[in-house]
Amino acid sequence: MKKGRYVMTLEERVEQLEKELSEFKKLFAKFGLATIYEAKYLHALEGRAYKSTIRNYEKIMDEILEEEDKKE
């Protein structure tokens, strides 16, 4: 048997993206962040960006959350 990485079915990928989108929208609604990051992040999640780009936006989001936590 050949060992390899697991490849998601289209349905699984759609479910994953919908979940990530939902979480992302909640985050933006909660903190009122600029929509430019939302658009760029969603673009990256749709698979039109390198993984490093996605990680960069996740890092930005983490930094924003840390700043918001410090304010509270």
Q: What is the full per-residue pLDDT of the chain (72 aa) written as tens digits?
A: 456 677 778 888 888 888 887 777 777 666 666 566 666 677 677 666 666 766 777 787 778 778 777 876
Q: How many CB atoms lie within 10 A of CB 10?
A: 7
Confirm if 42 and 24 have CB atoms less than 8 A apart: yes
Confirm if 28 and 20 have CB atoms less than 8 A apart: no
In sign, the C-alpha dihedral spanning 21, 24, 30, 33 is negative
Threshold 0.75, pTM exceeds: no
CA gap 16, 22 in Å, rounded: 10
* Matching residue, tokens 């903190």: 31
| Closest to 45 measured CA to CA, from 28, 68, 23 | 23
